[in-house]
């Protein structure tokens, strides 16, 4: 029987998280409806067309009148309706704001970089991220450029427990639904000079190549420390998300050989008499496009083009005359051959002319014919250049080592997110996810290893692999459970009423049954170390 | 800040703990947007080629729901969700009409496997099942897809199709029977060894 349709079963399944990335804030939809940016179907196209034309005409006239006759304040109100920020307030509108408050004091160290504000800097962080700071980026509170050395404070976060320790809120609720931010990388950046807070100059931007484990596109948020809310800035562009190995910012630090390091190996040169000779070829066509003029053919003297002796100590000379030393092997008609390769190699003070045509290579000892004064100058210039080259070589070696270290340190990171910030503060690549769907329930009634009941107000349950955690609290009698995914590894923790740290290990989640669960209680220091290990 | 619910909204509703909410339809649509976005996205995505189109259609669905909120009379949130599924279905059909192409049906293999496991089918039988589903008329296949792959409730499907839940149950029973008969016919014609198993399963299927 002929099938009526083909079921397509080989499409890659889409995950819930992927779907949520397409979810716009609901307020943006309501704004569209309220501002008549959208008209539902149902009527004929013609009726819409006529109505539409009328509306457009009225709107055009109204807009003209408004823009030409309304006071400035009213114009601002009209423009405000369509701002991106406005459409994203949904994420935070019902959020009970809370400040950044580390629960155990500052535990996550900042990396501090001292830089000169007058110069541009590329800073490499311990995790391998690169911060590009342009010159004259920072100003003081009075708007004056800072001429002194300044300190850049930077730290980044790649697991929910570090974020918890830093006291940065990652939760919000909207319309009674609990969400938490799933992070692809969060960082804080600050600048100070002699303990005074600095600010970024208007028009300046800091580019950050943030290493990340997540390969998907996320949103980019900034934490507003005045309203204590996350503020949506933009959705990442795919082209700003690159595999670590392909990222240009990283490649700038990669090591590459330069022409002046090419070594000429003369050890395997075989000497063959050259027979390829064409009378019509001029002497200046001695080798390919390279010009070589025979000065005294009988005495085997010729001038070398600078390209030939650029790798020798004579490189600083404008011109160089060479004389073939091994005359018995050299035939004058060699000047007429269009050689594939002509090179001058130097080993100690010995010079060798290498001529190659096809598979045949000939080598001849040559000696320079130069004015001793010029030679002295040339040698001095050569030694000078040699020093420069050695310094460059050392720099390249250092970069090579640094690159190797970077790669070793960033093995867990596969991607680089290229980000630009125009303010100092706390930034996060993330998107909101609801509590685990199809979840299991864990009891909030917890006991310690001695079967003593533990008292807490809130419990953190996180999925380390997904880099997300949720907070569950018990302000009302219905809230007897926390939720967790049976398919993911889960880790939980809370602070007891005695200030200790209670941990719900991954095994606890697998064994939890009934209305109570076992937490292991540690002194805060021990517990913090324990959880940090669990997260890494 | 404390999260203010340990039950998800679904669980609160499912367990009958429904607060006396006097919310506007718009707010209720907002709740459905929050709670069922993934479900509705999957419903649409199972019939369109790409994620972007699915996202656009879902946005349009909610925009239309908001625009026509005053036309929705029932105050039962379950019915509102079904109504939104109906709009989503209409949007998909409209999309295909505009594109002037035939409706496509995507189904994740995992979902077919899951249904097969629930019916105690072997891999061979699952292959037969797919073959038979491909021969069903669109309306019959859609019932199967919505019920067993999209896991929609009869209430939602009733809203989408405009039929009563009872008639849907009867229709689904007949379609299952039809699929079972077709599976036996095909296996007979191919002399497959699973004939006996199918005969027995037919009773249960």
Chain B interface test: which of A17, A29, A229, A515 (most B C-beta within 10 Å) = A29
Can you tell me the distance from the alpha carbon of A301 to that of A297, in angstroms, rounded to the nearest whole number? 6
In a domain, A400, yes or no: no
Cβ neighbours of residue A35 closer than 8 Å, sequence gap 6 or more: A81, A82
The beta-carbon neighbor of A98 closest among B1, B30, B109 is B1
Contact criterion met (CB < 8 Å) for A482 and B12? no
In a domain, A25, yes or no: yes
Residues A230, A344, single domain; the answer is no
Contact criterion met (CB < 8 Å) for A457 and B2? yes
Point out the residues of chain A with pLDDT beneath 50. 37, 39-96, 175, 247-295, 475-478
Whose structure tokens read 């009379």? B73
Instruction: From chain B, pick out residues whose CB is under 8 angstroms from the CB of A481.
Output: 6-7
Helix, strand, coil percentages (3-state) for chain A, rounded to 5, are 25, 30, 40
Can you tell me the distance from the alpha carbon of A132 to that of A492, in angstroms, rounded to the nearest whole number? 37
Element (H, E) at A131: strand A130-133
Q: Hey, what are A479's tokens?
A: 């809230």
CA R_g for chain B: 20
Domain termination residue (choose one: A400, A428, A456): A428
Considering only alpha carbons, which residue of chain B is nearest residue A440? B7
Domains of chain B, residue spans: 22-99, 109-204
Residue B197 to chain A, least CA–CA distance (Å)? 22
pLDDT at residue A192, as a whole number: 92
Contact criterion met (CB < 8 Å) for A178 and B51? no
Residue B132: other Cβ atoms inside 10 A: 22
Q: Hey, what are A533's tokens?
A: 């290990």
Residues A470, A530, single domain; the answer is yes
Residue A356: other Cβ atoms inside 10 A: 17
Residues A199, A161, single domain; the answer is yes
What's the N-to-C CA distance of chain B in angstroms?
A: 51
Residues A138, A205, single domain; the answer is yes
Q: What percent of chain A has pLDDT over 90?
A: 7
Contact criterion met (CB < 8 Å) for A29 and B33? yes
Can you tell me the distance from the alpha carbon of A316 to that of A312, in angstroms, rounded to the nearest whole number? 9
Residue A529 to chain B, least CA–CA distance (Å)? 25
Q: Hey, what are A469's tokens?
A: 């955690």
Q: Closest Cα to residue B69, out of A161, A433, A33, A145?
A: A33
Residues A449, A500, single domain; the answer is yes
pLDDT at residue A188, as a whole number: 94
Rounded (5°) CA angle B120-B122-B125: 105
Q: What is the CATH number of the domain that holds A107?
A: 2.60.220
Contact criterion met (CB < 8 Å) for A473 and B2? yes
In a domain, A233, yes or no: yes
Can you tell me the distance from the alpha carbon of A446 to that of A505, in angstroms, rounded to the nearest whole number? 13
**B109-204: which CATH topology?**
Arc Repressor Mutant, subunit A (1.10.10)
Look up residue A153 and give its DSSP letter. E
The total of structural domains in chain A comes to 4
Can you tell me the distance from the alpha carbon of B8 to that of B35, in angstroms, rounded to the nearest whole number? 9
Residues A80, A114, single domain; the answer is no
The beta-carbon neighbor of B66 closest among A1, A29, A458 is A29
Interface contacts (A, B; CB < 8 Å): 152
A94 to chain B, any CB pair closer than 8 A? The answer is no
Residues A112, A82, single domain; the answer is no
Look up residue A286 and give its DSSP letter. S
The SS3 call for residue B5 is coil
Residues A141, A244, single domain; the answer is yes
Contact criterion met (CB < 8 Å) for A176 and B9? yes
The beta-carbon neighbor of A7 closest among B33, B63, B134 is B134
Contact criterion met (CB < 8 Å) for B41 and A22? yes
Q: Computed from CA positions of residues A387, A389, A392, A397, in that sequence, does the dihedral angle turn out positive or negative?
A: negative
Q: Hey, what are B30's tokens?
A: 């907002």
The beta-carbon neighbor of B38 closest among A16, A98, A177 is A16
Q: Hey, what are A341's tokens?
A: 């390769």
A5 to chain B, any CB pair closer than 8 A? The answer is yes
Can you tell me the distance from the alpha carbon of A488 to that of A470, in angstroms, rounded to the nearest whole number? 14
pLDDT at residue B7, as a whole number: 39
CA distances from B151 to A497, A530, B44, B47, B83 (A): 44, 42, 13, 15, 16
Q: Hey, what are B25's tokens?
A: 């339809």
Contact criterion met (CB < 8 Å) for B104 and A478? no
The beta-carbon neighbor of A175 closest among B34, B64, B134 is B34
CA R_g for chain A: 36
Residues A130, A214, single domain; the answer is yes
In a domain, A147, yes or no: yes
Whose structure tokens read 């600010």? A199
Can you tell me the distance from the alpha carbon of A534 to that of A294, in angstroms, rounded to the nearest whole number? 77
Domain that holds residue A330: 283-381
Q: Closest Cα to residue A518, out of A470, A462, A422, A453?
A: A453
Q: Considering only residues 240 to 269 of chain A, which have any Cβ-Cβ distance to chain B shorter than 8 Å?
A: none
Can you tell me the distance from the alpha carbon of A6 to that of B133, in angstroms, rounded to the nearest whole number? 9
The beta-carbon neighbor of A8 closest among B4, B7, B105 is B105
Element (H, E) at A177: strand A177-193
The beta-carbon neighbor of A22 closest among B30, B51, B136 is B51
Cβ neighbours of residue A59 closer than 8 Å, sequence gap 6 or more: none
Point out the residues of chain B with pLDDT beneath 50. 1-22, 75-77
Residues A102, A148, single domain; the answer is yes
In a domain, A317, yes or no: yes
Considering only alpha carbons, which residue of chain B is nearest residue A435? B8
Residue B108: other Cβ atoms inside 10 A: 18
**Are A137 and A117 within 8 A, CB to CB?**
yes
Residue A260 to chain B, least CA–CA distance (Å)? 52
Residue B6 to chain A, least CA–CA distance (Å)? 5
Q: Hey, what are A500's tokens?
A: 């200790």
The beta-carbon neighbor of A29 closest among B12, B62, B102 is B62
Helix pair B165-189, B123-134: axis angle to 10 deg: 110
Give pTM, 2 decimals.
0.44
**Are A483 and A412 within 8 A, CB to CB?**
no
Kindly report, residue by residue over B59-95, the tens digit of the pLDDT: 999 998 888 877 776 544 457 888 898 899 888 888 8
Whose structure tokens read 């600048």? A191
Q: Considering only residues 482 to 521 of chain A, which have any Cβ-Cβ distance to chain B shorter than 8 Å?
A: 482-483
Residues A443, A417, single domain; the answer is no
Can you tell me the distance from the alpha carbon of A249 to that of A420, in angstroms, rounded to the nearest whole number? 13
A96 to chain B, any CB pair closer than 8 A? The answer is yes
Q: Hey, what are A355's tokens?
A: 């001529």
Give the CATH number of domain B22-99.
1.10.1740
Alpha helices in chain B (DSSP H): 9-14, 25-45, 51-67, 77-99, 109-118, 123-134, 138-144, 154-161, 165-189, 195-204
Contact criterion met (CB < 8 Å) for A473 and B4? yes
Kindly report, residue by residue over A134-156, the tens digit of the pLDDT: 888 999 888 888 888 899 999 99
pLDDT at residue A87, as a whole number: 25
Residues A173, A69, single domain; the answer is no
CA distances from A505 to A162, A518, A521 (A): 17, 9, 11
HSE toward the beta carbon, residue B52, CA cutoff 13 A: 0
Alpha helices in A244-335 (DSSP H): 248-251
Q: Closest Cα to residue A182, out of A365, A447, A430, A485?
A: A430
């Amino acid at each position: 029987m002929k099938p009526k349709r083909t079921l397509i079963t080989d499409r890659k399944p889409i995950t819930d998280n992927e779907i949520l990335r397409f979810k716009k804030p609901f307020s943006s939809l309501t704004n569209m409806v309220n501002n008549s940016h959208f008209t539902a179907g149902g009527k004929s196209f013609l009726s819409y067309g006529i109505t539409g034309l009328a509306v457009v005409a009225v709107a055009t006239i109204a807009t003209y009148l408004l823009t030409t006759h309304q006071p400035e304040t009213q114009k601002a109100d009209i423009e405000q309706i369509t701002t991106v920020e406005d459409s994203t307030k949904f994420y935070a509108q019902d959020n009970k704001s809370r400040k950044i408050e580390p629960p155990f004091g500052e535990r996550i160290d900042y990396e501090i970089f001292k830089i000169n504000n007058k110069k541009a800097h590329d800073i490499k962080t311990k995790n391998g991220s690169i911060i590009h700071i342009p010159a004259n980026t920072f100003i003081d509170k009075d708007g004056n450029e800072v001429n002194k050395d300044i300190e850049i404070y930077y730290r980044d976060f790649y697991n929910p427990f570090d974020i918890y320790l830093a006291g940065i809120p990652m939760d919000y609720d909207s319309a009674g639904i609990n969400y938490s931010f799933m992070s692809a990388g969060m960082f804080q950046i600050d600048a100070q000079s002699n303990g005074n807070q600095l600010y970024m100059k208007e028009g300046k931007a800091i580019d950050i190549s943030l290493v990340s484990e997540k390969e998907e596109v996320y949103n980019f948020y900034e934490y507003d420390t005045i309203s204590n809310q996350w503020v949506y800035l933009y959705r990442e562009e795919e082209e700003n998300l690159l595999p670590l190995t392909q990222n240009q910012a990283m490649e700038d630090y990669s090591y590459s050989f330069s022409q002046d390091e090419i070594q000429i190996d003369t050890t395997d040169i075989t000497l063959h008499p050259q027979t390829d000779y064409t009378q019509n070829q001029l002497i200046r066509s001695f080798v390919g496009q390279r010009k070589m003029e025979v000065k005294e053919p009988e005495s085997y003297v010729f001038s070398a083009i600078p390209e030939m002796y650029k790798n020798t100590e004579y490189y600083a000379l404008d011109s160089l005359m060479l004389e073939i030393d091994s005359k018995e092997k050299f035939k004058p008609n060699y000047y007429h051959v269009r050689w594939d390769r002509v090179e001058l190699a130097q080993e100690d003070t010995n010079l060798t002319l290498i001529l190659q045509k096809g598979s045949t290579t000939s080598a001849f000892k040559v000696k320079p014919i130069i004015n001793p004064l010029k030679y002295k100058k040339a040698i001095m210039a050569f030694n000078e250049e040699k020093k420069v080259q050695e310094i460059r070589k050392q720099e390249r070696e250092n970069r090579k080592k640094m690159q190797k270290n970077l790669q070793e340190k960033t093995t867990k990171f596969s991607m680089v997110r290229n980000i630009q910030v125009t303010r100092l503060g706390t930034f996060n690549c993330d998107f909101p996810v609801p509590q685990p769907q199809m979840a299991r329930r864990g009891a909030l009634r917890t006991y310690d290893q001695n079967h003593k009941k533990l008292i807490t107000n809130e419990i953190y349950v996180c999925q380390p692999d997904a880099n997300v955690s949720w907070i569950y609290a018990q302000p009302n009698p219905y809230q007897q459970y926390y939720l967790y995914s049976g398919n993911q590894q889960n880790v939980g923790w809370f602070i007891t009423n005695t200030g200790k740290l209670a941990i719900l290990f991954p095994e606890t989640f697998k064994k939890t049954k009934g209305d109570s669960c076992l937490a292991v209680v540690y002194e805060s220091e021990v517990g913090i170390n324990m959880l940090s290990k669990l997260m890494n | 800040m404390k999260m203010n619910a340990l039950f998800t909204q679904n669980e609160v509703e499912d367990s009958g703990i429904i607060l006396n909410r006097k919310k506007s339809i718009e707010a209720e649509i907002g709740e459905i947007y929050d709670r069922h976005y993934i479900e509705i996205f999957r419903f649409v995505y199972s019939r369109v080629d790409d994620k972007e189109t699915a996202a656009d259609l879902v946005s349009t669905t909610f925009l239309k729901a908001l625009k026509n909120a005053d036309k929705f009379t029932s105050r039962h949130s379950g019915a509102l969700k079904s109504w939104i599924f109906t709009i989503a279905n209409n949007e998909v059909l409209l999309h295909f009409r505009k594109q002037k192409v035939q409706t496509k049906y995507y189904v994740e293999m995992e979902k077919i496997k899951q249904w097969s496991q629930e019916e105690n089918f072997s891999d061979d039988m699952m292959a037969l099942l797919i073959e038979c589903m491909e021969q069903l008329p669109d309306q019959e296949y859609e019932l199967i897809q919505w019920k067993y792959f999209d896991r929609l409730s009869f209430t939602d499907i009733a809203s989408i199709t405009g039929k009563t839940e009872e008639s849907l149950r009867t229709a689904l029973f007949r379609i299952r029977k039809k699929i079972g008969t077709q599976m036996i016919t095909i296996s007979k014609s191919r002399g497959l060894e699973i004939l006996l198993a199918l005969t027995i399963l037919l009773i249960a299927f």
